[in-house]
Structure 1
């Protein structure tokens, strides 16, 4: 019976994917009235359900922005919690319309999985978290350590590269399927060090019963551009997701916020008027309403607002903007113009 059920599920997923690809995701989303969003399995600040089951986080807000652009309502999202091992299959099969869960953009993923990255919503890098009792101040002191890692991530490969490049240091990997399992393994003493993207380390640290007993080491050993992913070959949907992210950045650069966007409708600034759909180009070239960006900003805010409430000064994580600041503030965040 289990085998029959498994075959039935696979057939259903195949049919779902075929229907989505034949119709196009943008049209399918408009028809069903919601965005099916693949998110993480519980990472505060990025994608995490609160006590009432409401999903919040930087990655969650990307999906909310897309829903606002397409449907005029940022609440029209259904979330699917996915582990790192499950995420790409779920997108490939059509189970989700967009994957937005701290996923690193790499050449292999971009070129060999039938998927396309729509952009970067957080620039990150891999780091190490250790217990203060270990008495180390640098990752170069970790020779012989047991290291907790989440499976199905770039973390495993980066770790091997780093230890090999630094004198062939030895380590014992302790692998888990989910981020929760990884942090519990670390707290239980199954490993000396937990390695992951630095953003994830800060998120996992606040889950510890005694977060003050752990420190994040200074080394950043990789480039981890994180961003949403869609299926390859679906250009209209890719453009909607990509320009929804660009609207968030352009809004911050122009000083348009959720609080002042209605007042900004009176602006004579050409950049702001184009952003808010008051002058060409109109939303129709994306298959959207002319107020698509207005809906994003009014309901979700601009990128700066998203950052601050989810991972920045207004959040428990208190992460500095750093390289995630706008390009004209010393960061890497840069969006093409709306014109």
Structure 2
């Protein structure tokens, strides 16, 4: 016995399916991932975020970036005889100003001690902190700060007088060791000596400058801090050759820029400015050739970096040429390193861990892809 189809039921089913398809289509429009939406050539987002970073908006209204830096560390941040700020971290501040305004001179520097640096950031006295600060778990999970990346990989060591004939940490048993208060160096020092059973007398000074001065006066037998800071301290002593940095390294010290938590777009702006400077060295983009490569390069990675393809500045509130402007002002990572810390500087530090990842002797510096 055949059962005849019920026409009314078929109509109801068809109508129901049509309504369901319309509903699903509408939901699909609303939930379509940003990655699937139409993009201009090069894969950049189609438009900037509708909500501008509050920090970026304040910087633009003010007309300049406020950058927190070390109060005086050779190679990283210090004022020259004319009162102009120079140094590795200073150049990254200028790169940010160039990315924002197209002019690296539109930045004001606030010198900060180890103890005052974080308060200056949380109290909105600076917009970003570029002051050899180590990225640690306690700082990262504090709830107040966001680390935007690493611009220098360092480690803690010891500066000693050659006359004492010291060669390793074990020989510091009973020594007086100068160290700055409010730094990870003081904590690392206590941990290392306790774990080795080494007895020492910590000479805790208010800041790094005071610790350097105490060492110079021979108030202590050794000065402990980041190796880059020790090299800077040695270069200022009357006879640098009479002082040595021990080979032992106590810790890993990833140094980099810090922002206030809660303004993700601003943190992204800092992160990608740093990354553009790193990536420029990897791709062979320099201060001298950046403009020409923006016009003539056929490498899609360079074209995206320099704004010739896609618009990667829009999502962080900047122009298409934000990275080009930054590199034209201060150069790439290698250029910044060479003139402030490397062979063109009094410190004459080797790249070491701060070499590019693909260098003949590879390091930890690695440019994230812009695409």
SS at match of 2:141: helix
What is the CA distance between 1:181 and its match in structure 2? 1.4
Q: Give the Cα separation in 2 of the matches to 1:92 and 1:282.
A: 29
- For 2:69, the equivalent position in structure 1 comes to 39
Please say if 1:87 is aligned against 2:83: no
Mapped contact 1:41–1:179 kept (Cα < 8 A): no
Please say if 1:62 is aligned against 2:67: no
Q: Deviations over 1:170-220 (max 9, x none)?
A: 111111122221111001111000000000000011111221211100001
Please say if 1:109 is aligned against 2:139: yes
Q: Give the Cα separation in 2 of the matches to 1:144 and 1:323.
A: 32
- For 2:291, the equivalent position in structure 1 comes to 262
Q: Give the Cα separation in 2 of the matches to 1:189 and 1:319.
A: 25
SS at match of 1:328: coil
* Among 171, 177, 181, the residue aligned to 2:200: 171
Q: Give the Cα separation in 2 of the matches to 1:71 and 1:334.
A: 26
**1:316-335 map, 5 Å:** 316-329=346-359, 330-335=362-367
SS at match of 1:219: coil
Q: Give the Cα separation in 1 of the matches to 2:79 and 2:204.
A: 24
Mapped contact 2:53–2:266 kept (Cα < 8 A): no
SS at match of 1:68: helix
Q: Deviations over 1:38-59 (max 9, x none)?
A: 0001001011111111111111
SS at match of 1:206: helix
Please say if 1:185 is aligned against 2:219: no
- For 1:17, the equivalent position in structure 2 comes to none
- TM-align CA RMSD: 1.1
Compare 126-135 and 170-179 and name the one that shifted more.
170-179
Unaligned runs of 5+ in 2: 1-51
What is the CA distance between 1:284 and its match in structure 2? 1.1
What is the CA distance between 1:258 and its match in structure 2? 0.3
Mapped contact 1:247–1:293 kept (Cα < 8 A): yes
Please say if 1:132 is aligned against 2:150: no
Q: Give the Cα separation in 1 of the matches to 2:303 and 2:288.
A: 17
SS at match of 2:132: coil
Q: Give the Cα separation in 2 of the matches to 1:327 and 1:281.
A: 27
Unaligned runs of 5+ in 1: 1-21
Please say if 1:338 is aligned against 2:367: no
How does the TM-score come out when normalised to structure 1?
A: 0.92
Mapped contact 1:39–1:81 kept (Cα < 8 A): yes
Mapped contact 1:281–1:338 kept (Cα < 8 A): no
Q: Deviations over 1:205-255 (max 9, x none)?
A: 111122121110000110000001000011111011000000001100100
SS at match of 2:236: coil
SS at match of 1:39: strand
Q: Give the Cα separation in 1 of the matches to 2:278 and 2:209.
A: 31
Q: Give the Cα separation in 2 of the matches to 1:262 and 1:246.
A: 19
CA gap 1:113/1:85 in 2 versus in 1, 3 angstroms: farther
Q: Give the Cα separation in 1 of the matches to 2:311 and 2:105.
A: 26
Please say if 1:243 is aligned against 2:276: no
Runs of 4+ in structure 1 off by over 4 angstroms are none
Q: Give the Cα separation in 2 of the matches to 1:95 and 1:161.
A: 33
Q: Deviations over 1:288-325 (max 9, x none)?
A: 01110000110010001000000011111000001101
Mapped contact 1:37–1:97 kept (Cα < 8 A): yes
Q: Give the Cα separation in 2 of the matches to 1:176 and 1:295.
A: 41
- For 1:216, the equivalent position in structure 2 comes to 245
Q: Deviations over 1:87-138 (max 9, x none)?
A: 0000000000001111000000111150011100000000001011111111
What is the CA distance between 1:24 and its match in structure 2? 1.1
* Among 217, 221, 228, the residue aligned to 2:257: 228
How does the TM-score come out when normalised to structure 2?
A: 0.84
Q: Give the Cα separation in 1 of the matches to 2:311 and 2:194.
A: 51
